[in-house]
Amino acid sequence: MVYPQFEEKVNHAREALKRASRENIIELCKQYLAVLAEYRSKLYELQWTSRTHQRSTSGSPEDPGLTRKTIRAAIENTTKERHETEMLLLSFTTVSGYEAVEIFNRQKYEGHGDWELRSSGVKSAGISGGDLMTIQEAVDLAGLIRREEYVAQNMAQTLESSA
């Protein structure tokens, strides 16, 4: 462990994200990103302190628990987690009209697998009449469906690992 108090904070935020609901997952992603940024900053600070300390005491052996290699590995892992979480958050918050149609068709939303993006909105070819969803409504709904899928997937993985 490089920074036990921060690692505990990171683990707590990660676990909260795993137990997220569709309503709070965006906020929990943002909180997790903030904790990761704070932890990463502390790791860089520790890396710099470790280098400075090593230069001033070049004859003494380095603390084996806080080697530069250990600190670097923690920074790389934190950077990887941050990138994955940023991509997850982006997938929830930036859905195009085309992606919304793909999601609706994959999910057979409202029992239809023939959703189309039109200049005036999104509509299922199987629905007669003027029932047209605005592109913004479709994008918002598709983002909600993505969040629901992610939460359901997390719940299934949690149940599998606890069984």
Identify whether residues 34 and 56 lie together within a single domain: yes
Give the pLDDT of residue 60.
Answer: 45
Which residue, of 93, 114, 132, is where some domain finishes?
93
Question: Which of the four pLDDT bands, split at 50, 70 and 90, describes residue 69?
Answer: confident
Q: For the chain, how many structural domains are there in total? A: 2
Which residue, of 45, 78, 93, is where some domain finishes?
93
The string of DSSP codes covering 93-119 is H---HHHHHHHHHHHTGGG-S-EEEET
Judged against a pLDDT cut of 80, whether residue 116 lies above it is answered with: yes
Identify whether residues 140 and 106 lie together within a single domain: yes
Residue with token string 């939303």: 109
Give the pLDDT of residue 58.
Answer: 47
Identify whether residues 114 and 143 lie together within a single domain: yes
β-bridge partners, 46: none
pLDDT tens sequence across 32-49: 999 999 999 999 888 777
pLDDT tens sequence across 151-160: 999 888 888 8
Identify whether residues 84 and 102 lie together within a single domain: no
